[in-house]
Structure 1
Amino acid sequence: MTSATPVIVYPPDEAGGRRVRADGTILGLAYSVRDIVAFLQEAGLQSWDEMDVVRSSLIEWRGGGPEVWTQ
């Protein structure tokens, strides 16, 4: 994955988890911004941190932004 790959964070499910997808691949189910950071680091963006995730225009937040973790 490159830093130009769009990342989609889907709306929270009933348990507060948000599916995270990059380049057509599901990276996992996140329960916090920290989880998204871990997924992106595992996918090759080791230098990314929580502020990168919150501020990046490469991340499409569906069903609410990084502060939304409940339905």
Structure 2
Amino acid sequence: MARAPRIVVQPPSPTGGRRVRVDGVILGVAYGVTDFLEFLRRAGLEDVEFLDLETSPLIEWRGGGPTVW
């Protein structure tokens, strides 16, 4: 069985946006949920539109949850 990826969303930067990492690899800086989900799609995660951003054990939010950008 494949291991689930570890997704870490860093706190918002002073200039805006949050750095997104999957398994330690920086995917980029997201400026909102749309950017975040696109990074996950590009990383190969399937059905990201059904991912519960608030409670998913795959995502570690640092410095605020998915409503903080």
Instruction: Provide structure 2 residue ranges, at least 5 long, that are not aligned to the other structure.
Output: none
Give the distance between the partners of 1:6 and 1:14, measured in 2 at CA. 25
1:37–1:53: 8 Å Cα contact kept in structure 2?
A: no
Runs of 4+ in structure 1 deviating by more than 2 angstroms, as ranges, are: none
Instruction: Provide structure 1 residue ranges, at least 5 long, that are not aligned to the other structure.
Output: none
Paired residues, what number? 67
TM-score, with structure 1 as normaliser: 0.83
Q: Choose between structure 1 and 2 for higher RCO, CA contacts under 8 A separated by at least 6 residues.
A: 1
Give the distance between the partners of 1:30 and 1:42, measured in 2 at CA. 13
Match of 2:62 in 1: 62
Q: Check if 1:15 corresponds to 2:15.
A: yes
TM-score, with structure 2 as normaliser: 0.85
Report percent identity of matched pairs: 54
Match of 1:52 in 2: 51
For residues 33-52 of structure 1, the aligned pairs below 5 Å read 33-49=33-49, 52=51
